[in-house]
Amino acid sequence: MHRRLFLKHASCGLLTLSGAAETLIAQPTNVHVFYDPAILRHEPSSDHPESPRRLDAVMTSVRALERQGRLTVTTPRPATDDDILLVHTPDYLKIVRSEVAAGRRQLSTGDTELSQGSLTAALAAAGTVVSAVDGVISGRTRTAFCAVRPPGHHASQRRGMGFCVFNNIAIGARYARRRHGVERILIADWDVHHGNGTQEVFWSDGGVLFFDSHQHPWYPGTGSPDERGEGRGSGLIINNPFPAGAGRKEILSAFHERLVPAAERFKPQLVMISAGFDSRAGDPLGRFTLTDQDFAELTGVVLDIARQHAGGRVVSVLEGGYSLDGLPPAVTSHLTRLAS
């Protein structure tokens, strides 16, 4: 039966397939994937690792799980200027807008290439996280995965860098705070690179616990355990640098032994993940050795924290991940656990 027809029938309750003995009951899925094809319009040069093909690889997994009825794909709205200004300065927004309009191929603030469609794509990416926050807080879905690019966690208030234009997850967190009154948010970042932009945005915020595992020494060079936040944010930045070659043992231990007790003290009302899959073995831009199974276990640790403190609410946001062969199984593993 055609899927749309199936859903139409299924949404009414029970559906009996003619000629089949079984009766199917429509089950709402626990995870919604938020995806706007406008993110493909950011087109760095053809040999750049942060390519639109990454999202084709991610969506191959998403569509396969969608066909199995294990998740729902939802269309988000693009970010407004007001959403962007929750994190970034008006001057920086002006820089992005004018440099894209002028046809510049490189953002003047850092190592992020630009194309004609970069602003459209970057607004779509930030809006995707905002829409996912709305979806999770309103209860339309328990968990959400944002299939976005360009990535965001290197972008600070006044500076895009490291392939990032706007800090998508930081904008989503601030939006949850301002629009929905969520007071305590955990952001767990397992991308192989340190989320320096997210750290800077929430350095003295007090409403966000930022937990980051990353390779060190490596780009961008920040993320020492001494960087712990200040003022109201003092102690709410937890950095876990590990050398090249680190993997399951080091990173899962950090999540179990440091994140779980920190979350126990902080009691987040919303849990967000900077889900970078460049920490997977074989990624061209990292030297960590995490496996697809490890991503399922990391997801499980974070999901348990969300269930304990945050009503199960998780918004996961794609960051890096540059192996076109590695992304599909890693994403499948992450989403399968998120949907459980």
CB 193, min distance to Zn ion, A = 4
Binding residue (CB under 5 A) for Zn ion from 50, 191, 283, 294 = 191
Contact call for residues 155 and 197 (beta carbons, < 8 A): yes
Residue 162 or residue 328: which is nearer to Zn ion going by CB? 162
Residue 193 as a binder of Zn ion (CB under 5 A): the answer is: yes
Q: Is 154 a catalytic residue?
A: yes
Q: What is the four-CA torsion angle of 218, 168, 30, 260, rounded to 10 degrees?
A: 50
Q: Which residues pair with 275 in a beta bridge?
A: 318
Distance (Å) of CA 138 to CA 26, 219, 253, 313 = 21, 37, 33, 10
Q: Is 27 exposed, middle or buried (0-12, 13-18, 19+ CB in 10 A)?
A: exposed
Residue 78 or residue 150: which is nearer to Zn ion going by CB? 150
Which string of x and - marks every residue 258-297 that binds Zn ion (by CB under 5 A)? ------------------x-x-------------------
Distance CA 125, CA 19 (A): 45
Rounded to 5 degrees, φ, ψ at 13 are: 130, -115
* Ranges within 292-321 binding Zn ion (CB under 5 A): 320
Stretch that binds Zn ion, among 141-149, 188-196, 208-216, 308-316 (CB under 5 A): 188-196
CB 14, min distance to Zn ion, A = 46
Residue 193 or residue 337: which is nearer to Zn ion going by CB? 193
Residue 250 or residue 283: which is nearer to Zn ion going by CB? 283
Which string of x and - marks every residue 143-182 that binds Zn ion (by CB under 5 A)? ----------------------------------------
CB 319, min distance to Zn ion, A = 6
User: Parallel, antiparallel, or unpaired for β 23-25 and 72-74?
Assistant: unpaired
Residue 241 or residue 276: which is nearer to Zn ion going by CB? 276
Residues that bind Zn ion (CB under 5 A): 191, 193, 276, 278, 320
The catalytic residues are 154
